[in-house]
Amino acid sequence: MKATDSIVFPRIGLKSINRTLLAAMTNKQSNLDGTLSDEEIKWLVRRAKGGFGITTTAAANVTETGRGWDGEMGVWGDHQLPGLTKMATQLNQTDTISLVQLFHGGMRAPESLNGVQPISASKNTEAGMDGKYTREMSDEEINSMIESFTQAALRCEKAGFHGVELHGAHSYLICQFLGSITNRREDDWGGDIYSRSRFLRKVIESIRRVTNPNFLIAVRISPIIEKVGLYLEDSLQLANILCDMQIDMLHISCWDVFQPVEGEETGPSLTKRFSKIVPKTIPLISTGAVWTSQDAQWLIDEGADIIGVARVGIGHPDWPQHLSDPDYQPEKPPFTVKHLENVDLSPVFIEYMKRWKNFVV
């Protein structure tokens, strides 16, 4: 198997031209009301034209008050539909499969930005939140949040996207429900990992109920995040739980796929551990620190069905096309501003990338 081979999504028979995925990347280019700017559409479509089998948007918020930062993409209202439709239409003119990443900040949605006290599975706080605490969501609020995720997915479908990726990683709201530290509820939404995954499961079921059967649902999770109380054993169990549902892809966000599991010098990689659990009917995406053709091949050999990349796709929009060369070694950051301009990053995005260590000269 190679990254350049095509792959079919078994549930609906849709084919991806290769096994590459541009992972979700926040780029701060959206307008204040969450609508897409032309710059944001341009940057993403450029990557789709570059040959990514699957292209994911930036994390897009399902409610107006769950925002984590300025310039964030939104999918909470119909005023966002024209921009979403424009983006989906242009992505669909390429060979890519288009996904919108759906999320809510939960304890990472500052009051200073949203004007309301943040909410979460339990009363939590987070660095950078001015020492303020979240409010535990009521049953009614949880059900209304499931509805917000559902309406957002419907909006993406209406706009013409192939599907959505539910952002269950990186300590945002879904992840806060999954973690035993951030979810200390004693009702049906808390408890063991099965119960803590109830929120995510209800979101999946609800989206599946109202969207066309061909609409793709991917789920992104973090295998380990100690600060929310999510550990490998639970995540492997979670993978089992999710793969029994009607999802189309499971995405593990590893940050560095080559790193051994913390506390172990050797032992199987995260990708290998998940690939043993995830059935072949559900493609496994693994992402983190892949740059070269050899990296991609290593990850496939570890059991990933699809290679996710983020940073290399910023600097090298045609990355998937180069993978036919087994010795391809793209230039690594820091990139010059001129280079980033040439690959369709706007000044706003370039400014944001200066916050990523050693990315911009």
Residues that bind ligand FMN (CB under 6 A): 23-26, 58-59, 101, 167, 169-170, 220, 253, 255, 287-290, 309-312, 356
Smaller CB separation from ligand FMN, 194 or 356: 356
Using CB atoms within 10 Å of the CB of residue 177, give its burial: 0 to 12 exposed, 13 to 18 middle, 19+ buried: buried
CB-nearer residue toward ligand FMN: 252 or 282? 252
Smallest gap, in angstroms, from Cβ of residue 50 to ligand FMN? 15
Omega before 110 within 30 of 0, i.e. cis? no
Neighbour tally for 341: CB within 10 Å:
14
- Residues 259, 265, 269, 270, Cα dihedral to 10°: -80
Counting beta carbons within 10 angstroms of the beta carbon of residue 93, is it exposed (0 to 12), middle (13 to 18) or buried (19 or more)?
A: exposed
Name which of 26 and 136 has its Cβ closer to ligand FMN. 26
**Which residues neighbour 324 within 8 Å (Cβ) at sequence distance 6 or greater?**
4
**How far, in Å, CA of 310 to CA of 24, rounded?**
7
Tell me whether residue 100 or residue 290 sits nearer to ligand FMN (CB atom): 290
User: Kind and range of the H or E element at 117?
Assistant: none
Kindly tell me which of 216 and 290 has the beta carbon lying closer to ligand FMN.
290
Least Å distance, CB 104 to ligand FMN, is 12
By beta-carbon proximity to ligand FMN, the closer residue of 150 and 222 is: 222
Is the Cβ of residue 58 or residue 185 nearer to ligand FMN in the bound state? 58
Give the tokens for residue 264. Answer: 């172990």
Rounded Cα distance, 233 and 224, in Å: 9
C-alpha–C-alpha distance, residues 28 and 215, integer Å: 27
Nearer to ligand FMN, 109 or 185 (CB): 109
**Least separation in angstroms between CB 105 and ligand FMN:** 11
H-state helical runs in the chain: 38-49, 81-92, 111-114, 139-159, 173-178, 193-196, 198-210, 232-243, 270-277, 293-301, 311-315, 319-322, 337-342, 347-353
Query: Of the two residues 170 and 185, which places its CB atom closer to ligand FMN in the complex?
Result: 170
Q: Cβ of residue 247: shortest distance to ligand FMN, in angstroms?
A: 16
